[in-house]
Structure 1
Amino acid sequence: MINYKNNVIKLCPIFSIKVACIAILAITNVQANDSTGYIGTGGVAYLKNKNISMHSEDLYISKDKIRVNYEFKNLSNKDITETVLFPMPAVPSFTDSDYADTNATYDNFKVWVNGQTINPDLHVRTFMHPIIVKDGDRTYAEESIDTTEIFKSCGLNEADMMGPWTYQVDTEYVNQQLLDCDSKALDKFIYDKESLYIPWDSQVIYSWEQKFKANTTTKIKHAYTPLVGGSVHLGTEQFKDFCVDDATQRGFNKNGGRPYHALSYILTTGANWAKPIANFKLTVERDSNELVSFCWKGKGKIKKVSPTTFEIKESNFIPTHDFDVAFIMK
């Protein structure tokens, strides 16, 4: 028996990032805050910059759009140029008909700096889980390894590695290239060399060179369509993942559960700056025919500001948790 777990997202009927399962139906989205860093042959590294603070973050989340407005302050007397990274989730190479629309997500990522549109660079990384022996069985390790250079050494280019995002390259073509490749480095990742089933993940990362002028605030905005997972049933075992309240739970128990969509946003990379986020605001908007449920571990209170919109404000915010939200059909 062999078990497979994705390194960034665990796939299951509830599409939470916290629960593993066997059947793949769709993907829970994992988005991320900006961070500074560099892209090297070993993968992506994030830097903690001691001279740049995130003065404010205004984050809007719905099923259809994510928008983020940042204000960064250079605290020093010198201009600083950094590479800003925005990583998309690593998505699996094998999917089925209910999979989220990755093509719509990667192809509409937009960035503005001080009101001017910029065109970020796009990078692609691949990840695989090495085979290990656990309790006498061969299985995949929990942690994945960056295999981008192995893929390239086997003649695969970025367009090939982006197949799970663009749908323009067949997964079986990529896997056949890996099977035909004379690379000992691949041996620890391939379970059956007679099978075209070779699980690997593809990650898209956007980057751009950003000058932060001395003692000046730089405004950065980006917007995109999120990857959204979903299921026909939100089970009781997943209530804690989205902090479903008692009243909603009673409704589920009476009516046998409800269909829902879900996504997850990585907030914790927002801690990679010089100071806590001075002003943080999160807005969550649902459709009129939905309920929305999520957990919040900060000090800020959840406020309903319209029939379909909820808001949280924090001061001197250090993000120590990520954000999972479920949009549940009434």
Structure 2
Amino acid sequence: MPRFALRLAALLLLALARPAPANDSMAAIGIGGLALVRSEAVRLDRQELFISRERVRVEYLFTNTTDRDIETLVAFPLPDFTHSPVERVPDYRRELDFRTVVEGRPVTYELVQRAHFKGQDITERLRALGLPLVGGEEFERRVNDLPEPQRAALLREELVIGALEQGRTNIDEPLWTVSTSVTRRQVFPAGRSLAVQHSYVPFAGGSVGGRLGPARRASPEFQALRARYCMEDGFLAAFDRRTRPAARGADYGEIWLQYRLTPGANWAGPIRDFRLVVDKGDPAAIVSFCGEGVRRLDARRFEMRRTDFTPTRDLDILIVEFVRP
């Protein structure tokens, strides 16, 4: 049995005891797209994007169309995340495994994070208190080591979740928003092309099944999902052949992958040569995403190629894997 099936089986044992298995889900995190303030000097000649559940790889070929070197700050923006009692902010520093190669040589980058709360940047205040911007065990330990007046102030201002218990303020979670970007200084040589590669571990989302069956398809929720992932009739027919109505969604699981394509529109002109390959992993799985001229490469991979491509929407990928007897 493949790794996902084992994990899914464990989830299903829990889900069967609850009336709504579709609630057993985690959010996908849309990452991607090397960003630059709109440039009329640097052209994106080629972008090759490979996406799987285990790894995302993107290769760029940029060309400086001027007769002078251009040095600028480029950024790979990551999604903002707001702490809450039900959603964990990812620890990008440990989990992302972000790697950059320029002209075949690994380069360093800086992970820039800021904290915001009710429209105010509170980064320096948190750092002065010695608190990490991202919640977790380290945050909980440090915040509860603060003097009582400082803990009480954080709770009073609703920056954190906690309670006053037996005369002591105990804090559990922060409530601010964390914004993150991977940044570096980059020189684009005059009149030359520059090859840049990125790779990282994607933050996939997922759900034990229950949202895609025939009984749900008249609902506004399903129609929104169908538009988001461009589910065609053939995809739904394949889904119906592999599932049992009596299982009520307990015989499949959803995997969600997101990638931010739209920053590719910030370079000079359209992307001259764009190639996307999506690897669904398990050959028995089915996959759906929005794209023109998508073709099957083999039992796992699908390809889309475009010339003079200006992305107008980000990429959402739905993979459905089935529990095998």
Same topology, TM > 0.5: yes
1:294 Cα deviation (Å)?
3.0
| 1:213 paired residue number | 189
Closer/same/farther in 2, CA of residues 63 and 272 from structure 1, 3 Å limit: same
Letter in 1 for 2:53: K
| 1:91 paired residue number | 81
CA deviations 1:267-304 (Å, max 9, x no partner) are 0011111110000000000122552433325xx30100
Whether the 8 Å CA contact 2:204–2:256 is kept in 1: the answer is yes
SS in 2 for 1:169: helix
2:64 equivalent to 1:70: no
| 1:202 paired residue number | 178
Letter in 1 for 2:78: M
Find the structure with the greater CA-based Rg.
2
Whether the 8 Å CA contact 2:161–2:175 is kept in 1: the answer is no
| 1:243 paired residue number | 230
Q: Could you tell me which of 106, 128, 132 is aligned with 1:160?
A: 132
Letter in 1 for 2:115: T
SS in 1 for 2:60: strand
| 2:298 paired residue number | 306
1:91 Cα deviation (Å)?
3.2
Q: Distance in 1 between matches of 2:92 and 2:26?
A: 11
| 2:281 paired residue number | 287
SS in 2 for 1:306: coil
Matched pairs, number: 275
Q: Could you tell me which of 115, 127, 134 is aligned with 1:126?
A: 115
Q: Distance in 1 between matches of 2:189 and 2:126?
A: 43
SS in 2 for 1:124: strand
| 1:18 paired residue number | none
Q: Which runs of 5+ in 2 are unaligned?
A: 1-22, 165-169, 213-220
| 1:80 paired residue number | 70
CA deviations 1:101-152 (Å, max 9, x no partner) are 856533x100000111001112112234x3xxxxxxxxxxxxxx4x4x4231
Closer/same/farther in 2, CA of residues 169 and 320 from structure 1, 3 Å limit: same
Report percent identity of matched pairs: 22
CA deviations 1:176-228 (Å, max 9, x no partner) are 979937989x9587799979454223233111111101111110001111111
1:328 Cα deviation (Å)?
1.0
2:150 equivalent to 1:180: yes
Whether the 8 Å CA contact 1:73–1:215 is kept in 2: the answer is yes
How large is the Cα RMSD of the aligned pairs?
Answer: 3.5
TM-score (norm 1): 0.71
Q: Distance in 1 between matches of 2:239 and 2:49?
A: 28
Whether the 8 Å CA contact 1:160–1:174 is kept in 2: the answer is no
Closer/same/farther in 2, CA of residues 111 and 155 from structure 1, 3 Å limit: closer
Q: Distance in 2 between matches of 1:51 and 1:157?
A: 43
Q: Distance in 2 between matches of 1:50 and 1:183?
A: 49
Q: Which runs of 5+ in 1 are unaligned?
A: 1-22, 37-46, 131-144
Q: Distance in 1 between matches of 2:273 and 2:244?
A: 39
Q: Could you tell me which of 117, 120, 135 is aligned with 2:106?
A: 117
Q: Distance in 1 between matches of 2:27 and 2:93?
A: 13
SS in 1 for 2:311: coil
1:249 Cα deviation (Å)?
4.9
